[in-house]
Structure 1
Amino acid sequence: MNSDKKLFTYEEIKQKLVNYCVYQDRCHAEVEQKMHEFVLIPEAKDEILLYLMRENYLNEERFTRSYIRGKFYIKNWGRTKIKLSLKQKGITEKLISSCWDEIDEIDYEKIIKKIYENYDRKLFGLKEYQKKQKTIKYLLSRGFEYDVILRIFEN
């Protein structure tokens, strides 16, 4: 018996996973990772996953939409970074694509401009082309697309 795994009844584990999903939206991979903390036979894991999906505690689309909103509006991540992060969590390309409407295009450009202005103010003693180069590199590292950055720079 693994000593690092916690022993609970099936119902206790189910309730703990319900609470885990209620606290914030989760994807399947996160819930399955959490299940590794408990001693469960594969059939029980499947049963709990089905229960969580049936009762709408675990909803991949809701998670994806919530994740996109949070990472964009709170963390100011670009689409590229968000998409990569979601793929690492096992979210399909099709689902990610269908959820991009969570980000308003006007807000997207406003955030890029805001980040650009804030970062530009911090750069001293550089020629204009160096500032532009560093700022583009910074925006790319935040996950914004090159063509969108250039379009905003031109305006």
Structure 2
Amino acid sequence: MQSHKTYTVEEALKKMEWYCSYQERCHKEVTQKLYGMHMIPDAIDHIVVKLMQDNFLNEERYAKAFVSGKFRIKKWGKQRLTRELKQKDIGKTLITMALQTISDQEYLETFHTLAEKKAENIRESNSLKNKKKLADYLFYRGWESHLVYDKVNELF
């Protein structure tokens, strides 16, 4: 029979404080981690509330950090950022607030730089294939269709 380590609420709380201080986390990640530690729902609720009270867990801060990081490092567009945050059960209001931390100018500059850099590396003889490859790449990254189509037609 497989036995698993059991935790007291205090031990689990300490573990979650470290988990949250190491990197911003959302409620869903913390809850999943606690379920993985075989904690009961009442204990999970208690720990999540305590983490929020002590400011280890803050969904607004998480959403802003997530948007900032994924936009600057992975060059994700607003569609992808929104989709990923929704999967983490972040509310619409917080998603909107987090997306507003990106300036329109920086957003467009990042988009144009990303598209132009990718376009340089596409080496198809057929211009339709070039357009498709660039469009697919930008859509995957979560950029809005009007931006993608205008840029694809401009570059090829």
TM-score by length of 2: 0.87
Root-mean-square deviation over aligned CA pairs: 2.1
Contact 2:7 2:39 in 1 (8 A): no
Aligned to 2:114: 115
Preserved contact between residue 79 and residue 144 of structure 2 (Cα < 8 Å)? yes
| Separation (CA, whole Å) in 2 of partners of 1:132 and 1:91 | 34
Distance in 2 separating the partners of 1:134 and 1:48? 47
Q: In the superposition, relative to structure 1, how do residues 89 and 128 fare at CA in structure 2: closer, same or farther (>3 Å)?
A: same
The offset of 1:36, in angstroms, is 1.3
Q: Does residue 43 of structure 1 match 2:30?
A: no
The percent of aligned pairs where both chains have the same amino acid is: 36
Cα distance per residue 1:11-50 (max 9 Å; x no partner):
1111000000101111000000010132433322211111
Please tell me the residue identity of whatever aligns with 1:47: H
Q: Distance in 1 between matches of 2:93 and 2:60?
A: 11
2:6 corresponds in structure 1 to 7
Residues 80 and 142, structure 2, Cα contact 8 Å, conserved in 1: yes
1:29 aligns with 2:16: no
Gaps of 5+ in 1: none
1 CA distance for matches of 2:48 and 2:2? 23
2:138 corresponding residue in structure 1: 139
d(CA) in 2 for partners of 1:69 and 1:125? 34
Mean CA deviation greater in 91-100 or 39-48: 39-48
Offset at residue 72 of structure 1 (A): 0.4
For residue 75 of structure 2, give the secondary structure of its aligned residue in structure 1. Answer: coil
SS of the aligned residue for 1:102 comes to: coil
Contact 2:63/2:85 (<8 A) preserved: yes
User: Structure 1, residues 94-114: CA drift from partner, whole Å, max 9, x if none?
Assistant: 221122112121121112112
Query: Which amino acid in 2 is paired with 1:25?
Result: E
Shift >3 Å, 4+ stretches: 127-130, 150-155
